[in-house]
Structure 1
């Protein structure tokens, strides 16, 4: 019997690594939001304790590096089992600890794979690309949150492919490097480079900080080209880069990451359009290719160090919104790791190993078809239904969706959309809308709800350019505008989004906002800014301010609104409790009206957020 060739062994290792990275990325899309929503308990858990819990799962595998190869297949089986279990295990402590156990097993398996001496390339970039394409094909709502009867077979097939190739690894893999870049590449691709919502937002148009819906197909095509550029550049190794080219690539990687992370949308929108994602993807792929240097003494420590960088970067970026420090530098600091590999350049003798898959024209053509066709699978081809004014008045829904996650830490866009649709709204005002945050799974909440409800949307960023407030409607929109609100001591940013709609033969101004009060103080500064903006924006038309205002009836903030001419629309219906959603006790979601009256006030019962939705008819 002829033994398998070295190329077949290398291909086996490559496919095992790619399949494992796919499972690990999908698992992280559940584990990361579970840390915030389940362990963090909506910011009620001290940040220090939450951070220590999260970092522990990345630190403990370091103690097992010496034994990792002995338990490699067991760890691989643990990763695959946990990933499959998360299709069925939703919510609460079971979800948190199944995801945590899967993460631990995945990191041990990664350390064992690196310790065997193989290269991280092309397996890691192939896995990251596969995860991004699957995420796009599922319209950013991952398999964990889909109907189990079809999601489970898909995950099972992925897990079996992974375990099949892990069962008989190459006995003598060629030594290679690049493992330190696995974590930074995972963070940068998830946040900016291979994130479908980030690319789509760049084509939504920008006017007074308001982002609308992108044109059909164009963002998906650009996203596919970015994935293709990432793959091709990561599989190509050149040893004749000049110093100018090496420093230029590193500089563009750092500059592009800075633009993508910059909090001001005027800059960030450019960073999310066609050119920058494609070039960023190409340069990050080049860094992975340059990092593939011979590793004479293979070890699992570099890959675990890279994953620790991932954890520090992810948690450090998002913790800023609670603690209050500028965080745009965090992704730039992470990008400095691949930038260093770019400056260092590939080794003179590190041409593509003979046992790696050749990047032939046929392979490139197949990759192009896959990268362009798969993202389009997530596009709804059904046009949104035309809006029509309700006979008894305009029906308005206000809902703080908490990035789409319920109190139990589950992501239920179908249930949330059904709860909103039951109110038959003409206009929907949304708070805490997440368009691409990796910490919350990289979902596009607004796109998911928009397609399920058949409503167009306008989005305005607040904390950064990917998190804020929105208005959904099919009524004709005359104009829109957004202003940044003063923080006045609050760590998280806020804004006010005005949308002027035509309702029958009248015009009505809707202002969506989410007040972020300063610690132990009333948000009187923001109240004054919102009232002044809404009055100016309405231009004498009837108007409503709606959203999660984080103020109580009878308090000085609500009196300040009244003094500015904005009446409490719920005054005749008090108490109108909306928080927390499972047992409402607080009245912090409001509708303030000028020239309008609220009737038929309804508090929803769906627990798809930490707030209950509130609906009213405006006459």
Structure 2
């Protein structure tokens, strides 16, 4: 079982308007993910410096960033950062520009986890509906041009307020969205902006919105997690799959969970 997560960390600024990246690290440690797509993880102006300290990520959450530019002050590309646990190894990372009137980009990361290849598209789509549809089409084109039998997933802040339609209609040509869960605004979640979509080679076991005390104040978004398995892995004999399903049920039942499957 692999735990995926997506989290818009708003450059470490919490609901108290204080920049405290240590709270983000705490939330990530609570999630215990294997692969994380972060949005707004680098400053937007100047040197676009990283918000999170790689040493703190490693020591407290067991996560390491897939570095895009080893010489730069930031960790990612247009604020997108992918973090991997020790179970996963980055094979390749491709920064990808997305069509928009505002600067937008995505990361396409090829990773090896438990001996299997997984291709992740990590993105933060634009504010305008027309831009989001064009960006979704560009992401699909990237995945299709790289198709080689690897399992595929897409995660990020899609900025799509509707549960269906819009850019999701474009993405569904290749990817299966996990059921929408409200992740924004953290103070009263109503919009499913943060999404996980699975492509070939992966099946969904459980997913939910993480609403710990730390997550409720660390950012204006809540992280969304998904436990997935490779499609050719045995379902009935995988003990972790049963544990993941049970955790998903607890999230669905809890008034603090924001839903789950």
Distance 1:468 1:405, change over 3 A: same
Partner of 1:114: none
Structure 2 SS opposite 1:540: coil
Rounded Cα–Cα distance in structure 2 between residues aligned with 1:556 and 1:436: 27
1:414 Cα deviation from its structure 2 partner: 2.4
Q: Indicate conservation of the 8 Å contact 2:133/2:167, yes or no.
A: yes
Rounded Cα–Cα distance in structure 2 between residues aligned with 1:449 and 1:394: 22
1:553 aligns with 2:163: yes
1:407 aligns with 2:15: yes
Bigger strand share: 2
Structure 2 SS opposite 1:590: strand
Partner of 1:478: 91
What residue ranges of structure 1 are gaps of 5+ in the alignment?
1-392
1:560 Cα deviation from its structure 2 partner: 1.0
Partner of 1:445: 52
**TM-score w.r.t. length of structure 2:** 0.74
Q: Indicate conservation of the 8 Å contact 1:480/1:500, yes or no.
A: yes
1:515 Cα deviation from its structure 2 partner: 0.5
Structure 1 SS opposite 2:192: coil
Structure 2 SS opposite 1:434: coil
The partner residue of 2:119 within 490, 505, 509 is 509
1:457 aligns with 2:62: no
Structure 2 SS opposite 1:415: helix
Q: Indicate conservation of the 8 Å contact 1:413/1:449, yes or no.
A: no
1:598 Cα deviation from its structure 2 partner: 2.2
Aligned-pair Cα RMSD in Å: 2.5
Partner of 2:207: 601
1:428 aligns with 2:39: no
Partner of 1:617: 227
Q: Indicate conservation of the 8 Å contact 1:402/1:609, yes or no.
A: yes
Q: Indicate conservation of the 8 Å contact 1:578/1:611, yes or no.
A: yes
Distance 1:553 1:436, change over 3 A: closer
What residue ranges of structure 2 are gaps of 5+ in the alignment?
230-261
Q: Indicate conservation of the 8 Å contact 2:37/2:155, yes or no.
A: yes
Deviations 1:46-81 (A, max 9, x none): xxxxxxxxxxxxxxxxxxxxxxxxxxxxxxxxxxxx
Rounded Cα–Cα distance in structure 2 between residues aligned with 1:443 and 1:525: 28
Q: Answer 1 or 2: higher relative contact order, Cα 8 Å, separation at least 6.
A: 2
Distance 1:497 1:449, change over 3 A: farther
Rounded Cα–Cα distance in structure 1 between residues aligned with 2:97 and 2:157: 16
Distance 1:443 1:496, change over 3 A: closer
Distance 1:496 1:436, change over 3 A: closer
Matches within 5 A, 1:258-269: none
Partner of 1:527: 136
Distance 1:420 1:465, change over 3 A: closer
Q: Indicate conservation of the 8 Å contact 2:44/2:79, yes or no.
A: no
1:590 aligns with 2:195: yes
Deviations 1:18-60 (A, max 9, x none): xxxxxxxxxxxxxxxxxxxxxxxxxxxxxxxxxxxxxxxxxxx
Deviations 1:399-435 (A, max 9, x none): 0000011122112322221211122211111001115
Distance 1:485 1:460, change over 3 A: farther
Larger radius of gyration: 1
Matched residue count:
215
Structure 2 SS opposite 1:468: coil
Q: Indicate conservation of the 8 Å contact 2:68/2:93, yes or no.
A: no
1:459 Cα deviation from its structure 2 partner: 4.4
Matches within 5 A, 1:249-398: 393-398=1-6
Bigger helix share: 1
Rounded Cα–Cα distance in structure 2 between residues aligned with 1:436 and 1:589: 20
Deviations 1:225-280 (A, max 9, x none): xxxxxxxxxxxxxxxxxxxxxxxxxxxxxxxxxxxxxxxxxxxxxxxxxxxxxxxx
Distance 1:512 1:459, change over 3 A: farther
**TM-score w.r.t. length of structure 1:** 0.33
Q: Indicate conservation of the 8 Å contact 1:437/1:443, yes or no.
A: no
Q: Indicate conservation of the 8 Å contact 1:450/1:472, yes or no.
A: no
Rounded Cα–Cα distance in structure 1 between residues aligned with 2:138 and 2:203: 23
Partner of 1:289: none
Q: Indicate conservation of the 8 Å contact 2:12/2:51, yes or no.
A: no
Q: Indicate conservation of the 8 Å contact 2:4/2:36, yes or no.
A: yes
